[in-house]
């Protein structure tokens, strides 16, 4: 598969994330041009801060290839990796990372900081901008819809999912305090 085909596969994963209400980021680990693993964000549905597309794809690739060194693999991801994901990229020895849209808030391939340029023992080659417009549009559409949905909920007096979770936690803590002598 070509780089563009692999990034389009990552975009398919990002669309799957959006369909679940997740931030639309998708990742593909390829070896010799063939997909080894693909994943998308599941932080909300999995209720786990580490469920980024890159980490899930790297984990699946390690399992598929029966090893933690992915030195023959490449990572294609729709959004510039964050510090956590860049750490996994460095530790798994992925030699090449290709991303779509830059991330001005958390990107660690040059937008905020360039972790690949620091004196670690591994230095992946990083290429940004492949299908950037399509990746950025998917994110922009998702967040525009999310803001509109939240504004509508606020106008109707409907609590957000975050507010409901916060209320449940507060109730559970209050119940625990009552039970504790």
CA atoms of 23 and 43, how far apart (whole Å): 8
Decide if 36 contacts 44 (C-beta within 8 A): no
In the annotation, is 54 catalytic?
yes
Q: Are the beta carbons of 33 and 74 closer than 8 angstroms?
A: no
| Choice among 54, 132, 175, 179 that is catalytic | 54
The backbone region for 128, taken as left when phi is positive above 0, alpha when psi lies in -120 to 50, beta otherwise, is beta
Buried b / exposed e over 72-104, threshold 16 CB at 10 Å, is ebbbbbbbbbbeebbebbbebebeebbbbbbbe
Distances (CA, A) of 178 to 64, 78, 166, 169: 49, 48, 19, 14
With beta carbons less than 8 A apart as the criterion, state whether 135 and 100 touch. yes
Active site members: 54
């Amino acid at each position: 598969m070509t780089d563009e085909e692999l990034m389009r596969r990552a975009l398919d994963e990002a669309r799957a994330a959006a369909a679940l209400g997740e931030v639309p980021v998708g990742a593909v680990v390829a070896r010799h041009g063939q997909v080894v693993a693909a994943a998308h964000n599941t932080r909300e549905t999995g209720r786990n801060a580490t469920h980024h597309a890159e980490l899930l794809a790297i984990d699946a690739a390690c399992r598929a290839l029966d090893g933690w060194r992915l030195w023959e693999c490449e990572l294609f991801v729709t959004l510039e990796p964050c510090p956590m994901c860049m750490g996994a990229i460095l530790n798994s020895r992925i030699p090449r990372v290709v991303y779509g849209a830059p991330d001005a808030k958390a990107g660690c391939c040059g937008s905020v900081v360039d972790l690949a340029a620091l004196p670690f023992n591994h230095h992946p080659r990083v290429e940004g901008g492949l299908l950037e417009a399509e990746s950025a549009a998917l994110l922009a559409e998702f967040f525009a819809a999310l803001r509109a949905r939240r504004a509508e909920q606020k106008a109707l007096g409907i609590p957000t999912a975050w507010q409901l979770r916060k209320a449940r936690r507060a109730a559970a803590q209050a119940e625990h305090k009552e039970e504790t002598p």
